[in-house]
């Protein structure tokens, strides 16, 4: 539930249009490797969706798509795809709370929630600019009257596990799940951070 502002009004639900009107916030989110400029040329299709609404991308070449259901789908440039949030607002909450959300999925041991939580803790411990990230988190939440999510890792897990969107490359081959087989035990840096 969104908090009321000082005048007692409930702010509008967060949408791509509301967000992009806030250039200051968009600039801060850019520090979390998110761009709200969609690709010009489509490089994937989604079964049952005529014209996917891409709302942004990331530095790795991935795309964020707002589905008709209002779920946010992530399509990686490496042939993986899945729903990552139940709404655009939940997506922004995820990115702010856990900017390394894609790495959490990489080190999920095939979709194990406890491994995802371990990965999140280790990744948080390895943030290079922790003070800067925390300041950006606070500024973005305050600017958008955005509450901190109760359990961003659990919500991410649920969204990806329930994802039923079928994404295809331009040659028709289907993309695979966002859950990857690695755990933090495969990474000396993360394994040491978790110890």
Alpha-carbon span 169 to 25, nearest angstrom: 32
* φ/ψ bin of 113: left (φ > 0), alpha (ψ from -120 to 50), beta (otherwise): alpha
- Give every CB contact of residue 122 below 8 A, 6+ residues apart in sequence: 107, 184, 190, 191, 193, 194
Longest dimension (CA), the chain: 53
Alpha-carbon span 154 to 151, nearest angstrom: 5
Alpha-carbon span 144 to 3, nearest angstrom: 10
pTM: 0.91
Given this model, what pLDDT does residue 5 score? 47
Q: How far apart are the first and last CA of the chain?
A: 36
DSSP 189: H
Answer yes or no: are the C-beta atoms of 88 and 100 closer than 8 Å.
Answer: no
Instruction: Provide block-wise average pLDDT over 10 residues at a time, the chain (195 residues).
Output: 47 86 92 86 94 92 96 97 97 96 98 98 92 94 94 98 97 98 95 88
Burial class (CB in 10 A: 0-12, 13-18, 19+), 1: exposed
Given this model, what pLDDT does residue 188 score? 93
Given this model, what pLDDT does residue 11 score? 60
For 119-159, give the DSSP string. HHHHHHHT-TTHHHHHHHHHHHHHHHTPPPPS-HHHHHHHH
| Torsion over CA: 48, 173, 156, 90 (sign) | negative
Given this model, what pLDDT does residue 40 score? 83
């Amino acid at each position: 539930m969104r908090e009321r502002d000082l005048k007692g009004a409930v702010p509008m639900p967060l949408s791509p249009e509301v967000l992009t009107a806030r250039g200051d916030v968009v600039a801060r989110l850019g520090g979390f490797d998110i761009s709200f400029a969609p690709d010009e040329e489509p490089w994937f299709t989604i079964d049952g969706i005529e014209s996917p609404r891409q709302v942004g991308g990331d530095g790795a070449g991935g795309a964020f798509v707002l589905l008709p259901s209002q779920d946010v789908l992530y399509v990686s440039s490496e042939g993986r795809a899945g729903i990552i949030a139940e709404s655009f607002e939940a997506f922004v909450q995820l990115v702010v709370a856990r900017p390394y959300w894609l790495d959490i999925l990489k080190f999920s041991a095939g979709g194990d929630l406890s491994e995802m939580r371990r990965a999140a803790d280790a990744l948080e411990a390895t943030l290079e600019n922790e003070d800067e990230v925390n300041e950006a988190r606070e500024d973005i939440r305050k600017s958008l009257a955005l509450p901190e999510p109760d359990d961003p890792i659990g919500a991410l897990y649920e969204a990806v596990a329930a994802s039923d969107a079928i994404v295809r490359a331009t040659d028709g081959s289907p993309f695979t799940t966002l859950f990857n087989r690695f755990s933090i035990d495969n990474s000396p840096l993360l394994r040491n951070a978790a110890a």
